[in-house]
Amino acid sequence: MKSLRPLLYLMMVCFGLTSLAAHPIRALFLTGGGYHDYKKLAPYLTNSFGERVNVQFDTIWDMETLRNTNFAKPYAVLVFDVCFDEVEPALIDSALNAIHSGKPAVMIHCAVHAFRRDPNIKEWENGVGMRSKVHDKYGPFTTVKVDKRSPILSGFPDNWQTPGDELYQTIEFPKTSQALLRARSPRDGREHIVCWTHTYGKGRVFATTLGHDMKTVEDPNYLGLISRGLLWSIDKLDKSGKAEKGYGK
């Protein structure tokens, strides 16, 4: 019996520590569309985020799940990494209604340019938090911090450079959005916002136009940025840029 006591004590300690851990964040990762290698990008991103954040993803490769107007109910956050030119307007409305009602969201790269042919594209842009129609030619560019005090940018380099990405041009940036990163176009010298936070109704939105292909997304600085943005969207990022207890890895 004595020989079992250390083992029983160890089991009690382990159980106690486990019971204090937060349940994994359940997230929906919506992906698919043209112009990008999502078959490679999506699993890499979800696995990499899972190494940094206590999160579990359900990955959906189209927008059909949005036919159910309660699609977002099981999830703590919605991640959009999509590039569909058009889908049925009702599906877009379903996504926007979920965010407007308070569901946190993360918008990655072409999600900002998605649904170009939808008659209500303006409202999607309102949900995303920036209006952008075109991008510069693919190539390297450097980002600069706009809001250096933001915990989302904690540990992110002051002058970070992607070896290759698409610089989306900012046409309209509403007052409901807060710029985090900007980049100067190597082509014409104009500056564009490439990362921001936004409030859409009751929903907290983190968005970035960065992330066209693996040249950007394989960078640990990029993965840390999106991970902190996801935590910010669900209000689990502290002021120092760390995950709240139970939500980090």
Phi, psi of 137 (to 5 degrees): -60, 140
pLDDT digits 0-9 by tens, 224-233: 999 999 999 9
Residue 163 burial class via C-beta count within 10 angstroms: exposed 0-12, middle 13-18, buried 19 and up: exposed
Instruction: Note whether 45 and 217 are within 8 A (CB).
Output: yes
Q: Which two tokens stand for residue 10?
A: 């160890």
Average pLDDT over residues 187-193: 97
pLDDT at 13 over 60: no
pLDDT value of residue 21: 58
Q: Which two tokens stand for residue 83?
A: 């590039």
CB atoms within 10 A of CB 174: 14
pLDDT value of residue 120: 84
Phi, psi of 18 (to 5 degrees): -65, -35
Cα 207 to Cα 196: distance, rounded to the nearest angstrom: 6
pLDDT digits 0-9 by tens, 128-185: 999 999 999 999 999 999 999 999 999 999 999 999 999 999 999 999 999 999 999 9
Domain boundaries of the chain, sorted by first residue:
25-233
Phi, psi of 146 (to 5 degrees): -95, -45
Please tell us whether the domain made up of 25-233 is placed in CATH 3.40.50.880.
yes
Average pLDDT, the chain: 93
pTM of the model: 0.91
Provide the 8-state DSSP code for 25.
Answer: E
25 falls in which pLDDT band (50, 70, 90)?
Answer: very high
